[in-house]
Amino acid sequence: MSRIERVVVAIPARDEEKRLPAALAAVHAASGMCSLPVTVVVTADACTDATAEVASAAGALVVRSTAGRVGAARAAAIRAGLDAAATDPELVWIANTDADSVVPVDWLAVHLEFAERGVALLRGAVHPDPRELAADALRRWLSLNPQTEAHDHVHGANLGLTAGAYLAAGGFRDVPLQEDVELVLAVQEDGRLTASTARAPVVTSARTVGRLEGGFATYLREQVLRPAAL
């Protein structure tokens, strides 16, 4: 059984002053459905806009980074969150999402439900924002990403785990891509209990030009939009 006593929400952000308010408002609403203390941390990573100021005004703990890599940004947010929690890592649940994403109101409640079952890492689901994606492209997305409880997808925008599992696995690596996949594999290799769910999916940006080639935006452009247009 889980003994979780605190939650840290970690959000990497790079020049996201326009999308970040919606992301933080959604996390705030989800926190209201959670009976535990929640610390929200935003890493303003290599930003040239007012991302840090927007996060601070919304009440988030802000970490500034010049790394320009999402692995380092996620790790920085978690490190600051755990320092603020100042408690046994086994008592802390880390919920990861992104600055261009909107979590549902039951997001943290669902994560903690799995934690109560003894799950050390939870792979959540994401949906591209239907306001930014044509109907045929959305149908193709769903065909490629069936919304089942036993899915094997890994999304940094909806990934939760105990701080104990995170630290034992070595945390997020300082890499520009696939930091989430590498962390999940490390936790599995450590023998911890993992699970997946299609409940409480996170709505994420459907933009097709991302910070780096090879990420979610590239996947949408190459695997979803182009085939749907044929």
Q: Per-residue pLDDT tens for 47-57?
A: 999 999 999 99
* DSSP β-ladder status, 202-204 and 121-123: unpaired
- What is the percent of the chain where pLDDT is above 70? 90
Residue 173 has pLDDT above 90, yes or no: yes
pLDDT the model gives residue 132: 83
Residue 110 to residue 201: CA distance in whole angstroms: 10
Look at the chain and report how many structural domains it folds into.
Answer: 1
Residue 97 to residue 74: CA distance in whole angstroms: 9
| Chain segment 133-169, per-residue pLDDT in tens | 878 878 887 888 778 898 989 999 999 999 999 999 9
Q: Is residue 215 part of a domain?
A: no
pLDDT the model gives residue 155: 93
Q: Is residue 78 part of a domain?
A: yes
CATH of the domain at 82: 3.90.550.10
Number of helices (H), then strands (E), belonging to the chain: the values are: 9, 10
Range of the domain at 47: 6-133+146-206
Q: Is residue 176 part of a domain?
A: yes
Q: Is residue 222 part of a domain?
A: no
Residue 209 has pLDDT above 80, yes or no: no
The amino acid occupying position 201 is P
SS3 173: coil
Q: Is residue 29 part of a domain?
A: yes
pLDDT the model gives residue 148: 86
